[in-house]
Amino acid sequence: MEGRESSSTGMQLTEVKKIDEDNIDHSIIRRAGEILRDGGLVAFPTETVYGLGADALQAEASRKIYAAKGRPSDNPLIVHICCMEDLKNIVTEVPETAKSLAEAFWPGPLTMILNKNEKVPYETTGGMDTVAVRMPSSKIALALIREGGGYIAAPSANTSGRPSPTLAEHVYTDMEGRIPLILDGGEVGIGIESTIVDLTEGIPLVLRPGYITLDMLSEVIGKVCIDPGLIEDDSKKRPKAPGMKYKHYAPKADMFLVEGEPKMVVKTINELAGEKTKTGKKVGIIGTKETADHYEHGIVFCIGGRQEDKVIAHNLYKILREFDKSGVDIIYSESFRNSGMGQAVMNRLLKAAGHQVIEAI
Ligand code: TXA
Ligand code: MG
């Protein structure tokens, strides 16, 4: 089960080990933990998306993550922990808001930005004095973090810019030959990345919307704002999470979001898809339970019911990767309500589409 490195190519064997969340084979976790403690990389499932793990306290191990993903070095990593007591060892202070949020949402899909201490190398935080911390709820992830030394840096396990992986197969497509081991825990539950909240200044700021909505956060800590840099009209402001400024989650095809009243959206997509098909282009369409049967061209995926935010989030990246496999040239997607968890869905869709939006009229 070693990841042997071939000296001629720099490539290594990538092993995929199936692991059952309800009956964890600890010999696999021990082996994976050993790789992490030795400064190597292991991909593993979390409840949100698959992560690409390395020991967050070893500068050299973090560097390997950037190399394997082709990630810009100014884009900081999230440090994953497995118990609350470990938090104080990597930050200067644990504010009351962090304690309350941890109590309410950890383990779970929430990442908090806090001020880092000297234990966390700048390689892990992309040169920043703050550190992103999350305690995931996946039992496989928690066991691995514990075995790997307690502090595991883990971005989503995709090549930089591509849709995040929700299946081990997605990780294998992007990371084969680059890492020694992938733990295959099956399909993840949530399907999009954690909510990120910055607690380092004044009013808590959501830097990336996710499963934990603004309302859920407000119920626990009062006023919470969304990073103005995430709002499209506010293009003068840059997003505070360095990762949110890059084109991201993107399929290979050119993608457009079509907005408007559902009937008009279907009509517009049918017209556009018809024109493209005539010119020999292969078209992909993201439709919903309510509309999927009304599309007349291309490959149509049903992402869920229009009101089913969680189902839509769960299916989004899988569908984008299916389109990559089927080699479509252009994708038209319906757009969804921009509230609750729909805010996270629309944030990812807009980024996947590089903010190309068509009004259906
Ligand atoms: O659900 C998740 O959060 C997954 C799983 C694997 O846990 N991880 C994940 O990591 O999505 P990644 O690296 O793909 O996204 C981390 C985001 C990036 O946008 C990054 O810029 C931001 O968090 N971030 C990390 N540290 C930060 C910091 N100190 N200040 C501001 N933003 C930060
Ligand atoms: Mg990512």
State pLDDT tens for residues 244-286.
876 677 889 999 999 999 999 999 999 999 999 999 999 999 9
Cα 98 to middle of ligand 2, angstroms = 23
Position 346 pLDDT exceeds 90? yes
Q: Which atom of ligand 1 is nearest to the CA of 109?
A: 1
How far, in Å, from the CA of 170 to the mean position of ligand 2? 13
Q: Is the pLDDT of residue 232 over 80?
A: no
Q: What is the reported pLDDT for 4?
A: 47
- The residue length of the chain stands at 361
Which residues, other chains included, contact 98 with Cβ-Cβ below 8 Å and sequence gap of 6+?
87, 112, 114, 199
Pocket flag, ligand 1, residue 183 (CB < 6 Å): no
| C-beta of 131 in contact with ligand 1 (< 6 A) | yes
As a whole number, the mean pLDDT across the chain is: 94
Distance in Å, CA 232 to ligand 2 centroid: 20
pTM of the prediction? 0.95
pLDDT of residue 1: 38
Q: What is the mean pLDDT of residues 30-38?
A: 98
> Which ligand approaches the C-alpha of residue 193 most closely?
1
Question: Cα torsion for 205, 209, 213, 218, to the nearest 10°?
Answer: 0
Identify the three-state secondary structure at position 358.
strand
For residue 132, how far is its CA from the centre of ligand 1 (angstroms)?
7
> By percentage, how much of the chain surpasses pLDDT 90?
87
Pocket of ligand 1 contains residue 113 by CB under 6 Å:
yes
51 in ligand 1 pocket by Cβ < 6 Å? yes
Ligand nearest to C-alpha 205: 1
The predicted pLDDT at position 245 comes to: 74
Radius of gyration of the chain (CA): 20
CA–centroid distance, residue 283 to ligand 1 (Å): 32
92-124 pLDDT per residue, tens: 999 999 999 999 999 999 999 999 999 999 999
User: What is the distance between the alpha carbons of residues 42 and 14, in angstroms, rounded to a whole number?
Assistant: 10
User: End-to-end CA distance of the chain, in Å?
Assistant: 57
pLDDT of amino acid 189: 97
* Residue ID of nearest Cα to ligand 1 atom 15: 155
Mutate which of 46, 62, 78 for ligand 1? The one with the most ligand atoms within 8 Å of its CB, which is: 78
Judge if the beta carbon of residue 241 lies within 6 A of ligand 1: yes
- Tell how far CA 74 is from the center of its chain: 17
Strands (E), the chain: 15-18, 42-44, 51-55, 78-80, 110-115, 130-134, 152-153, 181-184, 195-198, 205-208, 225-226, 254-259, 283-287, 299-302, 330-334, 357-359
Q: Is the CB of 53 under 6 A from ligand 1?
A: no
Nearest atom (ligand 1) to Cα of 48: 1
